[in-house]
Amino acid sequence: MNPGLHVGSLLATGSGIADLFAHPFVRNALLAGTAIAAASGLVGYFVVLRSQVFSGDALSHVAFAGALGALAFGIDARVGLFAATILVGLGLGVLGRGGRADDVVIGTVFTWILGLGVLFLSIYTTSSSTGNGAANVNVLFGSIFGLSSGEATLAAVIGGVLCVAVLAIARPLLFASIDEAVATARGVPVRVLGIVFLGLVGVCAGEATQAVGALLLVGLVAAPAGAAQRLTSRPWVGLGLAAGLAVLALWVGVLVSYVDGDIPPSFAIMAAATAMYLLAYGAGRVRAARGSREATVPVSRPVPADAA
């Protein structure tokens, strides 16, 4: 059943927000989505800090090509999705300097993957398989309301493990991201950390594709993290804030889509994440302007008694 039509009929019969958790497709969406969003926020904080958003964009296209490649050869799309994003993520780290993929490496891999995506799309759409259009749309834009209980549980487990993995390397990765030269001198395995981190970004890309789709996953990774870094300069606070804002965006998006079945959940989630970034940007500008005014206000000094 189409979740959007189902929601529309529920509202027409008087069912509302109070019944939100009564529907399995909503519970599954929130279970999987919460873990996916938290992982995206944590990974995104370091993606933004390390100026690697372009690598996330490349991995979003890898996710699409990997899923289509699996479907074209009759394999579960999730197998191709995760295999492609993880392997390419690790490959970007290996090819880049110091575990960081530069623009040349990313651009080269990006165009190659796009070519593979076109090839796999051609093979898949000309095959005898049914449901080609629906599968393409699900990969591109996500299908969070279409997750089964088993799929949602698996997504939640993977998202939880990803969160633990990011937190486990957070301290040395933060050191390497802020001052690579000093971290190297202190014996931090900067290159290995960079490669491992891009592998985790690949896992995150595969996970986020199920929630918001390959075309929009960069927004879920970058927007909450960017907002967090505009709101605070304290790394650990920012890390938690990025995860919290990502989860909030997902819940708001699911709720909006539930209330209005004509609004796709992927759009609603990304609209919420973008709004958070814009609000954080505005708040940062106001704070900066206020600080500038306070710095230029002359300080009155008391006049010495003997100067009267």
Per residue in 181-223, pLDDT (tens digit) is: 898 888 899 889 989 998 999 999 888 887 787 777 888 899 9
pLDDT-derived band at 130, boundaries 50, 70, 90:
very low
Examine the pLDDT at 229 and tell me if it is beyond 80. Answer: yes
**What is the average pLDDT score of the chain?**
81
Of residues 161 and 151, which shows the higher confidence score?
161
Q: Specify the pLDDT at position 5.
A: 45
- R_g (Cα) of the chain, nearest Å: 23
CA distance to 29, 165, 296, 305, per residue, from 302 (Å): 64, 58, 19, 9
Residue 133: the pLDDT is: 55
Provide, rounded to the nearest whole percent, the portion of the chain with pLDDT above 70. Answer: 81
Q: According to the model, what pLDDT value does residue 300 have?
A: 52
Assess whether pLDDT exceeds 70 at residue 132. Answer: no
The residue ranking higher by pLDDT, 211 or 171, is 171
Looking at residue 8, its pLDDT comes to: 47
Nearest to 211 by CA among 242, 168, 170, 257: 257
This prediction has a pTM of 0.81
Residue 85: pLDDT over 60: yes
Helix (H, G, I), strand (E, B) or coil at 113: helix
pLDDT at 23 over 90: no
Judged against a pLDDT cut of 80, whether residue 44 lies above it is answered with yes
* Beta carbons of 70 and 117 less than 8 angstroms apart: no
| Interior angle at CA 102, CA 110 and CA 78, nearest 5 | 40
Closest by CA to 89, choosing from 63, 119, 118, is 63
pLDDT cut 90: percent of the chain above it: 31
pLDDT band at 306 (very low <50, low <70, confident <90, very high): low
Supply 272's token pair: 């919420």
CATH 1.10.3470.10 fits 21-128+140-214, yes or no: yes
Closest CA to 4 of 26, 21, 22: 26
The DSSP code sequence of 44-106 is HHHHHHTT-HHHHHHHHHHHHHHHHHHHHTT--HHHHHHHHHHHHHHHHHHHSBTTB--HHHH
